[in-house]
Chain A
């Protein structure tokens, strides 16, 4: 007897006025030139002045006094800003603010490890699996970056710094999921997220794959994880969380009540809400996607006025369209803004290829595995 869903999904209505974290761009520069990267200005070294961090810290420090709050340093490659600049950008934030960094690992050395440890910065590295799977991760000369990535991760391990990993999958194929999971077990990461490559930003490579191949990839990943589930595997545990809630009849409680605004603060203080991938882009219809600048307007006021940003109103219409038409809404919460825009040119559309690859087929792949691995009677 299956649990039934309530009438409609009640989560993800409107935008929260207080985020759970802020994304900061200490520099636009990246020392790599990965072929699937979505960042438009990664060749330029535009660095965030300390005045921007000071302005952001006014709001963040207040939020952190009432609950857990994080700043995520993203790029470009955040370590390319240099340790001195990075230390100056961290300084305005109170000690209770958590700091996270997403890095390509190529610049990590003993000094950076000491920097992370001294400041309790949580590290996540970007690596796509074994060396031969990192063909898209190259330096400006087009040469493979894997050796430097590997050296950086080695430094983290030497210093006993726990780390997470994000892995991009360009083409799901049989055998890949198990190969990747085994690699990350050996690598020693605590947490792993798998991103099927997305068409967004300046990356215009198509992300359409045969449905069966994608489902089989996710199902194979479940099997690999199940053999040794030491790693927190984002996609699988997220799916299981939802499936468990459906079975318990609590599925409508899984989605947050409101959308997280996820302010992304660019190097110059401009703020893009909801979708960091839109930062740095502009469109004749939507302008530059920003909702303000922290050097002019306090972050709290920018968030309070989010709905005045035209593309955001259209996006909220899109979320409602997802809610009313898509049976995966309770699992997904609505197609992501950047995927709607970069795949389909608008925000009020619904299903994207990202939805198909990373949400629908993910859940279906997990269910395929469960269906094919029922316990046998003894």
Chain B
């Protein structure tokens, strides 16, 4: 399937092509998400002082050399 080269406004739920693509891949994604969850649990990251596990979906947001939404570090 080609990349979506003709983006349409994302404020129309029924026509959001990226959301549709994700939903179309639901079966494969579900298995992948489950494996990712297991992998995260098996990693031995430390726990922060407030008790929040560093190892989480937002792991990269805890590493500023690595992650920022509006400017990827390089």
Contacts and interface: CB of A to CB of B under 8 A. Distances in A.
A285 B26 CA distance: 47
A108 to B, nearest CB: 15
Interface string A179-202: 000000000001101010010000
Contact of B65 (A102, A241, A369): A102
B28 A191 contact: no
Contact of B35 (A3, A226, A242, A256): A226
Interface in B11-56: 11, 13-14, 16-33, 35-36, 39, 43, 45, 48
A367 B70 CA distance: 23
A338 B70 CA distance: 10
Contacts of A222: 32
A193 to B, nearest CB: 5
Contacts of A275: 71
Interface residues of B, number: 53
Interface in A206-224: 211, 215, 222
A291 interface: no
A360 B70 CA distance: 15
A363 interface: yes
Interface of A: 2-9, 12, 20-21, 38, 68, 70, 72, 74, 100-102, 122, 124, 164, 166, 168, 190-191, 193, 195, 198, 211, 215, 222, 226, 229-230, 232, 234, 237-238, 240-244, 246-247, 251, 255-256, 259-260, 262, 274-277, 323-331, 333-334, 336-338, 351, 356, 358, 360-361, 363-364, 367-375
Given A198-B74, A247-B30, 14 more contacts: A7-B13, A72-B64, A72-B73, A74-B65, A166-B73, A193-B60, A229-B36, A243-B22, A259-B69, A324-B9, A325-B9, A327-B7, A330-B10, A371-B28
18 contacts: A3-B19, A4-B13, A5-B16, A100-B65, A164-B66, A166-B74, A198-B74, A211-B3, A232-B60, A243-B29, A327-B10, A327-B16, A333-B69, A361-B3, A368-B1, A370-B28, A372-B28, A374-B28
